[in-house]
A = this chain, B = another copy of it.
Amino acid sequence: SRLTHLDAAGNAVMVDVSAKPDTERVATARGRIDMRPDVLDMIVNGDTPKGDVLAVARVAGLMAGKKTSDLIPLCHPIFLSSLRVSLRPEGSGIEIEAIAKTTGPTGVEMEALTAVSVCALTVYDMCKALDRTMRIGDIRVVQKSGGRSGSFVAPGESG
């Protein structure tokens, strides 16, 4: 088992996927941003127009998911056949989920993870004047299917 992005001489390469078959691949990533309760209230039902912070963050996540190969040096450009990003309040913050789908030779974890990350950063940006102690975290892949390595459900995650 080796880091596949490095060749024999240790140089970074975008690995050759030309021999891998096209299969349908789905990946789900999650993450969250935590904040002060009053700021969370303000976002969710407060004096801000309902839904707008969440709407802007959702769009930002979608657009960033499409830019993944532009941001992550060794990611292949892919044709995303679907991407959905959702946000919902949970505990002391907002839980973010992105589901990416493609038919191709490479997985879409990075697309889902990038969508979640930029979605969280956008919430941060829109609320930073109110709370300087917000924190983004728990960004991980919770489920993935398709490809040689088969399906994966992270232990302890609801599907």
Contact = CB atoms under 8 A, between A and B. Distances in A.
Interface string A54-90: 0110111011111101111111111111111110000
Given A10-B48, A133-B154, A76 B80 contact: yes
11 contacts: A3-B126, A5-B126, A6-B49, A11-B49, A12-B58, A13-B82, A51-B55, A66-B69, A110-B125, A113-B124, A135-B140
Contacts of A152: 132
A71 B67 contact: yes
A139 interface: yes
Chain copies in complex: 6
B137 A18 contact: no
Interface of A: 1-7, 9-18, 24, 31, 42-43, 47-49, 51-53, 55-56, 58-60, 62-67, 69-86, 101-105, 109-110, 113-114, 117-118, 120-122, 124-130, 132-141, 144, 152, 154-155
B70 A129 contact: no
B18 A103 contact: yes
Contact of A49 (B9, B80, B134): B9
Contacts of A76: 79-81
Contacts of A11: 49, 52, 58, 84-86
A29 to B, nearest CB: 10
A44 to B, nearest CB: 12
Contact of A121 (B9, B42, B114): B114
Contacts of A104: 79
